[in-house]
Amino acid sequence: MGTLELRALVREIPDFPKPGILFRDISPLLRQPEAWQEVVSQLGAICDRLQPELIVGIESRGFIVGMSLATDRRIGFVKARKPGKLPPPVEGVEYELEYGSDRLEIIRQGFDHRPRVLVVDDLLATGGTAAACAELVERVGGELCGLAFVVELADLNGRAKLPAGVPVESLIVY
């Protein structure tokens, strides 16, 4: 199964969560074990190139993607979460959204040896959350070796917000 077949399993939902938005839903991919295996295999090839020592997954679908990949590659997994969800000590970063701001946090422990880190999520849209996570990884001592996404919405130009010179990989690009 290749990228074209995976693309057919991403559901398009118009006007969700609000009018004018076309939501890309990976739930059908998650329901098909062979398709999800292909997602993990393709992300695994990215890991082979970038050689991360840790995977950081962004709340919440990034947990599914990241833990699947970390387990497959037999490397550690770390959660990046919304505020107040992780026990201290945490490091946090505020970031801007289309309308308002948010905060992302990560547990500081486990980054002492400056591990190579791959940040993963299900979707790259405007790039704000992924950029905040990249900043967090570097703030706690990780060496950001790349960012990987299952789906990217290229028209929203999220890549422009991500750190220059760091590889960005997406399996399905709209």
Q: Which long-range contacts (CB under 8 A, 24 or more apart) does 17-26 make?
A: 24/123, 24/151, 24/153, 24/174, 26/61, 26/122, 26/123, 26/150, 26/151
138 domain-assigned: yes
Q: What is the pLDDT of residues 80-125, one digit of tens each?
A: 999 999 999 999 999 987 778 999 999 999 999 999 999 999 999 9
Q: What is the pLDDT of residues 48-74, one digit of tens each?
A: 999 999 999 999 999 999 999 999 999
154 domain-assigned: yes
88 domain-assigned: yes
97 domain-assigned: yes
pLDDT at 99: 74
Structural domain boundaries, residue 88: 50-169
pLDDT at 85: 97
- Annotated catalytic residues are 61, 98
Domain count, the chain: 1
Predicted TM-score (pTM) of the model is 0.95
CATH number of the domain at 89, please: 3.40.50.2020
6 domain-assigned: no
